[in-house]
Chain A
Amino acid sequence: AQKVTQAQTEISVVEKEDVTLDCVYETRDTTYYLFWYKQPPSGELVFLIRRNSFDEQNEISGRYSWNFQKSTSSFNFTITASQVVDSAVYFCALSGRNTGFQKLVFGTGTRLLVSP
């Protein structure tokens, strides 16, 4: 079975603070993919990043960075110098070979509130 856990239900920070959103996953697949999606107040989900299980390199995109550690089954997301526009619900998701990679299993999401 596949499972994604986002233990942080809600995080509140003040603008310019750094914030890390945690994601822990479970899977029996040896080949799998991990994703982060953003759901702003408007409601639609926006793709942020995809990582495969063979690539543990950290990735940085502007103020966003991701830390993938297979040893702890974690794929954490850090926003540096947060801004009010970062306020959204963030979802971590997993897909594995056993389900043809197309079935995304989502975590419950972390609501991030950035205040000015």
Chain B
Amino acid sequence: DAGVIQSPRHEVTEMGQEVTLRCKPISGHNSLFWYRQTMMRGLELLIYFNNNVPIDDSGMPEDRFSAKMPNASFSTLKIQPSEPRDSAVYFCASSLGSGPVYEQYFGPGTRLTVT
């Protein structure tokens, strides 16, 4: 079975450019999570969706960040305009249901570098 798929795996962009990260959750999973990992702040939850609906976006750092989940098999995280401090590894994860009994399966991550 395919796991969580993220694209691109690596992205290098210049400051001010728009960046779109993509995620395809595991088929049948109805919860999706976006995390960011940096050396300074570790792993942080940015936003999560249940049944395509955003439930908690309190971790989104600022208005430059936005996330959508138009259907059960696709989600995007957009940064516009990007800044060097956005450089990080962004992980998408999905789970079969909501609640802690359903473990979160992580994708391979997208390494974003903003110059």
A residues within 8 A CB of B12? Answer: none
Q: A102-B55, A106-B43, A108-B42 are in contact. Are A47 and B104 (CB under 8 A)?
A: yes
- The smallest beta-carbon distance between A49 and chain B, in angstroms, is 9
CB distance from A24 to the nearest CB of B (A): 15
Within 8 A of A (CB), among B17-41: 31, 33
A47's nearest neighbour on chain B, judged by CB, is B103
CA distance A7 to B109 in the complex (A): 25
Q: Distance (Å) between the CB of A108 and the closest chain B CB?
A: 5
Beta-carbon nearest neighbor of B9 in chain A: A43
Set A44, A50, A91, A99: member contacting B107, Cβ < 8 A? A44
Chain B residues touching A, range: 20 to 34
- Confirm or deny: A87 has a beta carbon within 8 angstroms of a beta carbon on chain B: no
Q: Which of A43, A52, A107 contacts B109 (CB 8 A)?
A: A43
Query: Which of A33, A44, A52, A107 counts the most B-chain CB atoms under 10 A from its CB?
Result: A44
For the complex, is A42 an interface residue (Cβ under 8 Å from B)?
yes
With contacts A91-B43, A100-B55, A103-B48 taken as known, whether A33 is within 8 angstroms of B100 at the C-beta atoms is: yes
Binding site for A on B (CB under 8 A): 31, 33, 42-45, 48, 50, 55-56, 89, 91, 93, 95, 98-101, 103-109
8 A-B pairs with least C-beta separation: A33-B100, A45-B106, A106-B43, A101-B100, A47-B103, A108-B42, A44-B108, A101-B99
Q: Which residues of A contact B (CB under 8 A)?
A: 33, 35, 37, 42-47, 50, 52, 91, 95, 99-109
